[in-house]
């Protein structure tokens, strides 16, 4: 097969691993920087131009679109879909998962366990929304944040009010969430491919920190999931419409709660922690599922 990887940098760990695995399986592979793609979107024959050539003959494309280029990156992916190329994750599913409120609303509608979460726009409603999510301590999150940046733990109601007021003053979009204290500064990353969790790790925050992101000094270890956690992760990925997803779960005393569903989960931490060849499993999934014109985007507009 001819596989394209939409990634800004061929040297990134996940990109390198995918290239390596695709080549080992005998495929032709090209890393494409979405920001260097350009196209005539009104042409009857959809095409993508790239550094003076046209991108043609691809059977599948693996999107590794960073949060900061979601808009342009998904537009390029959509163009591949218009050309009938099989996307590992569809552009609509990626866009959906990048909107944290929309994601939680969709998951909630399908009965997935979530931390109690509220959001508000006007400072007049701060008191009320704090009440709704059960009062302090609580977690305040910037909707645009990634890697734990913009996630704040407010221990008291006063602290919560000031932080929320400050964020609102800056016109930032935020959500306000129950603090799942019993998770003990640990979360679980479930790596879903198709309808299976193929690897899972527990990430534990460093001393004195409640955010377990590896970028924030957290450590990762192999973990055994409960059947409920497995099915929650698979259902969450499914509801978002993602074939490949990193589903982050907290162990709360009301069962597993989903914090986030990530559409471009990194391979480094999880391959290290579990010793599994996840890149290889992704390529196998593509071999099994890639067919021309399979995406829902084509023809639907
Ligand atoms: P990001 O998407 O920026 O990584 P997250 O929402 O995943 O932000 O939060 C970062 C970390 O903070 C999580 O991995 C988790 O360890 C911790 N955390 C987030 N929300 C909660 C919560 N409601 N209760 C307890 N810990 C939380």
**Least confident piece of the model among 80-84, 144-148, 205-209, 295-299:** 295-299
For the domain covering 99-104+182-284, report its CATH number.
3.30.470.20
- State the Cα–Cα distance between residues 286 and 288, nearest whole angstrom: 5
pLDDT at 298 (0 to 100): 44
Domain ranges of the chain: 2-95, 99-104+182-284, 117-179
For atom 9 of ligand 1, the residue with the nearest CA is: 148
Chain segment 248-283, per-residue pLDDT in tens: 999 999 999 999 999 999 999 999 999 999 999 999
DSSP 33-60: -GGGEE--TT-SS---EETTEE----SE
Topology given in CATH for the domain delimited by 2-95 = Rossmann fold (3.40.50)
Instruction: Tell me which residue of 257, 100, 112, 118 sits closest to 182, measured CA to CA.
Output: 257
For atom 5 of ligand 1, the residue with the nearest CA is: 148
For atom 8 of ligand 1, the residue with the nearest CA is: 148
For atom 10 of ligand 1, the residue with the nearest CA is: 148
* Within this chain, domains 2-95 and 117-179 share the same CATH topology: no
Contact between residue 77 and residue 64 where contact means Cβ atoms under 8 Å apart: no
> Looking at domain 117-179, which CATH architecture does it have?
2-Layer Sandwich (3.30)
CA of 177 to the centre of ligand 1 (A): 10
Chain segment 155-212, per-residue pLDDT in tens: 999 999 999 999 999 988 999 999 999 999 999 999 999 999 999 999 999 988 888 8
Which atom of ligand 1 lies nearest, measured to the CA of 148?
3
Residue 290, helix vs strand vs coil: coil
Test site for ligand 1: of 114, 190, 211, most ligand atoms within 8 A of the Cβ = 211
Chain segment 205-222, per-residue pLDDT in tens: 998 888 888 888 889 999
Instruction: Tell me which residue of 118, 116, 22, 106 sits closest to 61, measured CA to CA.
Output: 22
CA of 116 to the centre of ligand 1 (A): 13
* Residues above pLDDT 90, as percent of the chain: 82
Which atom of ligand 1 lies nearest, measured to the CA of 212?
16
pLDDT at 297 (0 to 100): 54
CA of 203 to the centre of ligand 1 (A): 11
pLDDT band at 301 (very low <50, low <70, confident <90, very high): very low
Instruction: Tell me which residue of 88, 7, 20, 62 sits closest to 277, measured CA to CA.
Output: 20
For atom 12 of ligand 1, the residue with the nearest CA is: 211
pTM value is 0.94
């Amino acid at each position: 097969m001819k596989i394209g990887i939409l990634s800004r940098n061929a040297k990134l760990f996940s990109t390198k691993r995918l290239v390596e695995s695709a080549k080992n399986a005998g495929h032709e592979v090209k890393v494409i920087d979405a920001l260097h793609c350009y196209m005539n979107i009104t042409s009857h024959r959809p095409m993508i131009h790239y550094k003076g050539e046209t991108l043609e003959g691809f059977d599948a494309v693996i999107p590794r679109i960073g949060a900061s280029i979601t808009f342009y990156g998904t537009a390029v992916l959509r163009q591949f879909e218009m050309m009938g190329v099989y996307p590992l994750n569809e552009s609509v599913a990626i866009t959906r998962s990048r909107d944290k409120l929309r994601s939680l609303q969709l998951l909630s509608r399908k009965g997935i366990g979530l931390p109690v979460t509220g959001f508000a726009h006007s400072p007049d409603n701060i008191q009320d929304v704090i009440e709704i999510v059960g009062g302090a301590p609580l977690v305040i999150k910037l909707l645009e944040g990634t890697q734990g940046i913009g996630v704040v733990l407010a221990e008291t109601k006063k602290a919560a009010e000031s932080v929320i007021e400050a964020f609102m003053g800056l016109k930032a979009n935020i959500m306000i969430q129950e603090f799942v204290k019993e998770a003990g500064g640990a979360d679980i990353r479930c790596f879903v491919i198709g309808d299976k969790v193929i690897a899972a790790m527990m990430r534990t925050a460093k001393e004195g920190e409640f955010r377990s992101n590896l970028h924030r000094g957290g450590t990762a270890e192999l973990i055994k999931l409960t059947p409920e956690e497995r099915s929650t992760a698979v259902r969450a990925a499914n509801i978002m419409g993602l074939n490949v997803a990193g589903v982050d779960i907290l162990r709360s005393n009301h069962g597993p709660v989903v914090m986030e569903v990530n559409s471009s989960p990194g391979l480094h931490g999880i391959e290290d922690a579990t010793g599994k060849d996840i890149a290889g499993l992704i390529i196998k999934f593509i071999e099994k599922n890639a067919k021309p014109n399979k995406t829902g985007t084509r023809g639907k507009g």
